[in-house]
Amino acid sequence: MQQNIVHVALVVRDYDEAIEFYTRTLQFTLVEDTYQPEQDKRWVVVAPPGSTGTNLLLARASTPEQERAIGAQTGGRVFLFLRTDDFWRDYREMQSRGVRFVREPKQAPYGTVAVFEDLYGNRWDLLGPAPA
């Protein structure tokens, strides 16, 4: 048996503002943006540059309960983990694009890590390679 996680749903306020942030600020690729008329919603998928693994499904909140979860899907814990092949390059680039880091970079046994927030306040780890 072989299985994998294809998409992780991220609840967003607005498709276009989320696409703007992920593609312009974080430099993700817009993989798909398809209107689904039977449900009056869009299927919006983004992926980090060079990624061949799990993608993000940007899912617009459609109920008050879902709206309350925007930016708080994990209750303030780090939600997503973005691994990079060059931590300092991406850290500086993200800072120059206005990404808000809430924990400064630190060295850990598994690599260099810093915590940032997306446009809604969801927390992410930016992870660089462990020292050789």
For the stretch 19-73, pLDDT in tens is 999 999 999 999 999 999 999 999 999 999 999 889 999 999 999 999 999 999 9
The pLDDT of residue 13:
98
User: In this structure, how many other beta carbons lie within 10 angstroms of the beta carbon of residue 17?
Assistant: 13
What percentage of the chain exceeds 70 in pLDDT? 100
Q: How far apart are CA 41 and CA 28, in angstroms?
A: 21
Q: How far apart are CA 65 and CA 2, in angstroms?
A: 34
The pLDDT of residue 131:
78
Q: Is 21 exposed, middle or buried (0-12, 13-18, 19+ CB in 10 A)?
A: buried
pLDDT tens string 67-82: 999 999 999 999 999 9
* 84: confidence class by pLDDT, cuts 50, 70, 90: very high
Model's pTM, two decimal places? 0.93
Q: Report, as an integer, the average pLDDT of 10-26.
A: 98
The pLDDT of residue 121:
97
- Contact of 90 with 84, CB cutoff 8 Å: yes
